[in-house]
């Protein structure tokens, strides 16, 4: 049990004194970058899904 308490004390000290937290503006900039990257990746995946779906429809129509 003493090990757990010591771990929690050390973790708290590290989070308060040793970690460099981003400023509010840095956090906002990072959030915007993540949002834009997520949208781009989502559009790429949607485009690939649409393309493969149409290709499969053409393929199955050609078999009939």
Model pLDDT for residues 5-47, shown as the tens digit of each residue: 999 999 999 999 998 999 999 999 999 999 999 999 999 999 9
Is 64 within the bounds of a domain? yes
Residue written as tokens 């509010």? 24
pTM: 0.67
Closest CA relative to residue 47, chosen from 57, 36, 37, 39: 39
Is 29 within the bounds of a domain? yes
Is 38 within the bounds of a domain? yes
Is 43 within the bounds of a domain? yes
Give the domain extent around 43.
22-64
At 8 the pLDDT is 95
At 64 the pLDDT is 76
């Amino acid at each position: 049990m003493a090990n757990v308490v010591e771990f929690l004390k050390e973790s708290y000290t590290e989070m308060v004194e040793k970690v460099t937290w981003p400023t509010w503006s840095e956090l906002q900039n990072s959030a915007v970058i993540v949002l834009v990257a997520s949208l781009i990746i989502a559009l790429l995946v949607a485009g690939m899904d649409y393309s493969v779906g149409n290709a499969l429809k053409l393929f199955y129509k050609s078999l009939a």
